[in-house]
A and B are shown apart, each in its own frame.
Chain A
């Protein structure tokens, strides 16, 4: 498993070799986005408890995997997320308020700002994988340089869509990066029950594509392997499967109780000894790239951003019933027009 920073924040030999590849500004930026992601996530859980948003899928513990990978993307690249990629969404340009709107049950939260190539969250597991392959195919057919990145979990690798997507990408040699966050569990089911293979990365071999196993709580290593995969893709050398080994610190969603199925000493170890934000913070502090005061003021600033996002989301015009009929088709049918009138007037029209 590739690791450039140890859990206690020290550079490994490979880490030292790659250290100068990225500027100090970039390295600080990774930490800032990880902090933003964490503050967003913690607030979202609180909002759910207060009934201000619906059931929410927390990501704490997976910040390095999400930020390390998305930091490597260009604005022309396509992103196909699952439902847990809030960090990725924020990084690629989704406003905080939009992400909140989604979890407030508003379809407006599915739509990114103009120019942001981020698909809506994917709820049916693994279905986004072949779609991302198609986007990469478009890049190849048009002889463009954009790549396509798809995010999914360890559980998703059991679905047929995962295998079909990998197979297509190998056959057509497409510029797609399969980014799997292996957080050890699919809701309650541990990876050992998901597959008899020791790793997910090794599945790549059967499709003749590179497979990379990386410490997903090491933002530096994730950023590095993602860079290499993207370069391969942009240079016409085809797809890569990356398995980022990580852990979700909390429950699957706010409706789940992870204490039912996860041993407490395992959880404790990941929280206390392998936290991705602490690891990178310690490393940067040690290397003299940041100060504790800076981290504190960043955290404060992120909190303000999140506050602002909540205010904006909560101040948005309430959803109207007639929105139900918008965008179903490009042109509204007679049938739907009739039903829209029914909805507006609250009258049953067909008996008149």
Chain B
């Protein structure tokens, strides 16, 4: 065990992967000598050299397109996109090729690529650095989408993502990169993709969250706890495939749902979760489900970002609402 922040845990995972899997290559902008703009690859270029930790030219389509060519030849590219908002030049490569190569070649060629990207707001970053666009990737069949919210999850999920064969979009909440340290197991260790984490058990309301919204959900839940409302908090960890079993089990128990989503409201993951719950657990529901999200406006520059993002207060308010509505 070692006490690590999330960004250190990610660096640790990459180090372990480079050590144990000779086919792993890291590609990205400023990931070499500079160790990544967030230091997620700190020291790896020194340790593994220029052929395994590769500073590329500034070209996202180039990074992801060439990762495909490397992957079909047996390499395991782990590409870093410096910020999720800069992934768009590579969108075509991801949507049209990474996601469907396996389908199109009926498995003849491996498309085993992990794309890491810091994302989300809350750190007063410059303009156009703070979007939460996980929906684009969840919406695209053929991609797995992972979002850790703790250091040890980040390491275990990243190693699992690197080990398993499907392409993975691995989104790292910048707000949590250095938010806290915790014990992280040393060496190789995995958390299987597709399993949610039960953060706290409760009986009255199920709160679903992922990424930087997990601490917000926890804070909202503890606020409500003071009024005697017992919240179950679930960290999805993997957005696709989502852990339907854990969610439905919880909803069946509590009958009430609040979803906390950092992205704007329309067609965010919350809408899909609400549809899925409605399809699978409608008769367990005792109140309408509520989603707390950002507004449907462009992510603002940082002066207004606190007004834009979901807060623990809003979560608590939503919990009170669904409890009242259920006639508790």
Taking beta carbons and an 8 Å cutoff, which residues of A are in contact with B? 54-55, 57, 83, 102, 104-107, 121, 123-125, 155-156, 158-161, 186-189, 193-195, 253, 255-256, 260-261, 319, 321, 323-325, 328, 335-336, 339, 342-343, 346-348, 350-351
Q: What distance in Å separates the Cβ of A65 from its nearest Cβ neighbour in chain B?
A: 19
User: By the criterion CB–CB under 8 Å, are A55 and B125 in contact?
Assistant: yes
Indicate whether B76 reaches chain A with its CB closer than 8 angstroms. Answer: no
Chain A residues near B59 (CB-CB < 8 A):
158-160
Chain B residues near A188 (CB-CB < 8 A):
30, 32-34, 55
Taking beta carbons and an 8 Å cutoff, which residues of B are in contact with A? 29-30, 32-35, 37, 55, 57-62, 85-86, 88-89, 124-129, 265-266, 288, 290, 292, 295-298, 300-305, 307-308, 313-314, 317-318, 321-322, 325
User: By the criterion CB–CB under 8 Å, are A123 and B128 in contact?
Assistant: yes
Question: Closest residue to B126 on the A side, CB-wise?
Answer: A55
Chain A residues near B302 (CB-CB < 8 A):
54, 105
Chain B residues near A261 (CB-CB < 8 A):
33-34
- Tell which of A160, A324, A348 touches B304, judged by Cβ atoms closer than 8 Å: A324
Once A55-B125, A186-B29, A351-B288 are accepted as A-B contacts, the answer to whether A105 and B296 lie under 8 Å apart by CB is no
Q: What distance in Å separates the Cβ of B201 from its nearest Cβ neighbour in chain A?
A: 25
The A/B interface has a contact count, at CB < 8 Å, of 124
Q: What distance in Å separates the Cβ of A192 from its nearest Cβ neighbour in chain B?
A: 11
User: By the criterion CB–CB under 8 Å, are A105 and B124 in contact?
Assistant: yes
User: By the criterion CB–CB under 8 Å, are A158 and B57 in contact?
Assistant: yes
Bound complex: CA A117 to CA B222 (Å):
52
User: By the criterion CB–CB under 8 Å, are B57 and A187 in contact?
Assistant: no
User: By the criterion CB–CB under 8 Å, are B124 and A55 in contact?
Assistant: yes
User: By the criterion CB–CB under 8 Å, are A328 and B298 in contact?
Assistant: yes
Offer 25 A-B interface pairs, CB within 8 angstroms, sorted by A. A54-B124, A102-B127, A105-B303, A123-B126, A123-B128, A123-B129, A124-B86, A124-B128, A158-B58, A159-B89, A187-B29, A188-B30, A189-B30, A189-B55, A255-B37, A321-B307, A336-B297, A342-B295, A346-B313, A346-B314, A347-B317, A348-B314, A348-B321, A350-B290, A351-B290
- Knowing that A324-B307, A328-B297 touch, tell me 14 more A-B residue pairs with CB under 8 angstroms: A54-B302, A123-B129, A155-B57, A159-B59, A159-B60, A187-B30, A187-B34, A188-B30, A189-B29, A189-B30, A189-B57, A321-B304, A324-B304, A347-B317
Q: What distance in Å separates the Cβ of B194 from its nearest Cβ neighbour in chain A?
A: 31
User: By the criterion CB–CB under 8 Å, are A325 and B34 in contact?
Assistant: no
Chain A residues near B124 (CB-CB < 8 A):
54-55, 105
User: By the criterion CB–CB under 8 Å, are B35 and A106 in contact?
Assistant: no
Chain A residues near B307 (CB-CB < 8 A):
321, 324, 343
Q: What distance in Å separates the Cβ of B77 from its nearest Cβ neighbour in chain A?
A: 18
Q: What distance in Å separates the Cβ of A50 from its nearest Cβ neighbour in chain B?
A: 14
Q: What distance in Å separates the Cβ of B229 from its nearest Cβ neighbour in chain A?
A: 16
